[in-house]
Chains A and B, each alone.
Chain A
Amino acid sequence: MPSSKPVAPGLIRMKDSEAALLGGRRLSDGKIVFPMPSGPEALLHKEIELAREGSLWSFTVQRFRPKPPFDGDGDDSSFVPYAVGYVELPGQIIVESRIEVSDPVHLRIGMPMRLVLEAYRHDSDGAAVMTYAFRPANEERL
Chain B
Amino acid sequence: MNNVCIVGAGIHPFGRHDGKTGLDLGVFAIREALSDAGLDWTDMQFGFGGSYDSGDADAVLPVLGRTGMQFINVANGCATGGSALLSGYWAIKSGESEFGVAVGFDKHPRGAFNAEPEASGLPRWYGQTGLMLTTQFFGMKIQRYMGLYGISRESLGRVAEKAYENGARTPHAWRRTPVDLDTILNSQMVSDPLTKYMFCSPAEGGTALILASERKARELGLSGPTLRGVALRTRLNGSFEVFSPSLEIRRDPSPTVLAAKAAYEMAGVGPADIDVAQLQDTESGAEIMHMAENGFCADGDQEHLLRDGATKLGGKLPVNTDGGCLACGEPIGASGLRQVYENVQQLRGRAQQRQVEGARLAYSQVYGAPGLSAVTILEGSGATRGVR
- A residues near B, CB below 8 A? 7-8, 11, 23, 33-35, 38, 57-64, 66-72, 82, 84-86, 88, 91-98, 104, 109, 120, 131
Which residues from chain B contact A60 at a C-beta distance below 8 Å? 136, 139-140, 143, 191-193
Which residues from chain A contact B127 at a C-beta distance below 8 Å? 68-70
1/0 contact string of B102-134 vs chain A (CB within 8 Å): 000000000110101100000111011111110
Interface footprint category on B: 35 or more
Cα–Cα distance between A88 and B247 once the two chains are bound (Å):
9
User: Do the beta carbons of A88 and B129 come within 8 Å of each other?
Assistant: no
User: Do the beta carbons of A62 and B133 come within 8 Å of each other?
Assistant: yes
> Which residue of chain B is the closest to A85 with respect to CB atoms?
B140
Which residues from chain A contact B143 at a C-beta distance below 8 Å? 58-60, 109
Which residues from chain A contact B383 at a C-beta distance below 8 Å? none
B385 on the interface (CB 8 Å rule)?
no
B249 on the interface (CB 8 Å rule)?
yes
**B349 → A minimal CB distance (Å):** 42
Given contacts A7-B128, A67-B111, contact A61 B192 (CB under 8 A): yes
B248 on the interface (CB 8 Å rule)?
yes
- Identify the interface centre among A38, A58, A68, A98: most chain B CB within 10 Å of its CB: A58
- Identify the interface centre among A33, A67, A82, A88: most chain B CB within 10 Å of its CB: A67
B246 on the interface (CB 8 Å rule)?
yes
B17 on the interface (CB 8 Å rule)?
no
Given contacts A38-B123, A86-B247, A93-B249, contact A64 B136 (CB under 8 A): no
User: Do the beta carbons of A120 and B248 come within 8 Å of each other?
Assistant: no
User: Do the beta carbons of B130 and A62 come within 8 Å of each other?
Assistant: yes
> Which residue of chain A is the closest to B189 with respect to CB atoms?
A63
**B338 → A minimal CB distance (Å):** 26
Give B162-218 interface residues, CB cut-off 8 Å to A.
188-193
